[in-house]
Amino acid sequence: MQYRRKQDIHMSAVAINPLNRAVRFYEAPIGKKAVMAVTGVMLVGYVIGHLLGNLQIYSSDPQQINRYAAFLHNPSNALALWGVRLILLAAVVLHIVSSVQLWQQNREARPLRYYKKADVPTSYAARTMLWSGPIVAAFVIFHVLHLTTGSILPLHDIGPNMPDVRYNVVSGFQNYWVSGFYIFAMILLCMHLYHGLWSMFQSVGISHPRYTSKLKKGAAIVAILIAIGNCSIPIAVMAGLVTY
């Protein structure tokens, strides 16, 4: 009887230890950085995929983007679509929570500010991380209210549960306030991605003076291309290059 009790305690300890190790790992700064890196990769992948889908508005076939939207919202894809949405939502929450907790830990560990000469664009992008993230998150909510729920501007449909995405995008970006906020958010996203992408490699221990500058350049190129692609759509609509 006593032997079985000890065996049960041992098995429970074996089951709990991995969880304890995971908690202790996350409590350390390196754990939070790892979570930010992994969720950051997931979110960057989504941003690129979302951009590629949106760029279909430039197709010679005006209905191409509507067919793409119809495919995504096909009832047969509902389970997969909601699965992706839930994973992305969890990634966003983990990314924000870990970043805030890491900022608090760094602030408590270094309460006194000191002057440090650094690369100006890099340091500026780093300083914008705390407030660009919430603004981009607010934009995502605005974007959903605008083009998903129709709470900002009325939406048009081309059939049951089938939005006329092209019409809704064009009519929405013809509003200069909507386009202006969109472009502003994309510029902030560009700075957020620039700092986040190259610092992500440092977070997982990939850091060396020999290739740090290359990582920064690569991150800048990716961030700028994403910003250009996203900003080009409202600009093209306002310039009359993309119509219904």
Q: What residue type is 20 in one-letter code?
A: N
3 pLDDT higher than 50: no
What is residue 122's predicted lDDT score, i.e. its pLDDT?
A: 46
Domain-located, residue 121: yes
Per-residue pLDDT tens over the stretch 124-141: 455 555 566 677 777 778
Domain-located, residue 11: no
Phi and psi at 155, nearest 5°, equal -105, 150
Domain-located, residue 7: no
pLDDT band at residue 121 using 50, 70 and 90 as cut-offs:
very low
Instruction: Single out the residue of 138, 133, 134 nearest to residue 193, CA to CA.
Output: 133
Domain-located, residue 84: yes
Structure tokens at 23: 């908690």
Of residues 241 and 32, more confidence is placed in 241
Structural domains in the chain (count): 1
Per-residue pLDDT tens over the stretch 56-76: 999 999 899 999 988 888 888
48 pLDDT higher than 60: yes
pLDDT band at residue 5 using 50, 70 and 90 as cut-offs:
low
- Nearest 5°: the CA angle 57, 62, 63 is 95
Domain region containing 211 = 30-238
Percent of the chain with pLDDT over 70: 77
Percent of the chain with pLDDT over 90: 25
- The domain that holds 141 is classified in CATH as 1.20.1300.10
pTM recorded for the entire structure: 0.79
What is residue 126's predicted lDDT score, i.e. its pLDDT?
A: 52
pLDDT band at residue 167 using 50, 70 and 90 as cut-offs:
very high
Domain-located, residue 231: yes
Instruction: Single out the residue of 83, 72, 97 nearest to residue 163, CA to CA.
Output: 72
Q: What is the mean pLDDT of residues 10-38?
A: 70
Looking up tokens 């064009």 gives 170
Q: What is the mean pLDDT of residues 137-164?
A: 78
For the purposes of burial, counting CB atoms within 10 Å of the CB of 40, is it exposed (0-12), middle (13-18) or buried (19 or more)?
buried
What are the distances in angstroms from CA 175 to CA 35, 153, 182, 198? Answer: 38, 10, 11, 35
Structure tokens at 182: 């969109």
What is residue 75's predicted lDDT score, i.e. its pLDDT?
A: 81
DSSP the chain: -HHHHHHHHHHHHHHHHHHHHHHHHHHSHHHHHHHHHHHHHHHHHHHHHHHHHHGGGGSSSTTHHHHHHHHHT-GGGHHHHHHHHHHHHHHHHHHHHHHHHHHHHHHHH--S-------HHHHHHHHHHHHHHHHHHHHHHHHHHHHTS-SSS---EEETTEE-HHHHHHHHHTSHHHHHHHHHHHHHHHHHHHHHHHHHHHHTT---HHHHHHHHHHHHHHHHHHHHHHHHHHHHHHTTSS--
What is residue 213's predicted lDDT score, i.e. its pLDDT?
A: 81
Domain-located, residue 204: yes
Domain-located, residue 3: no
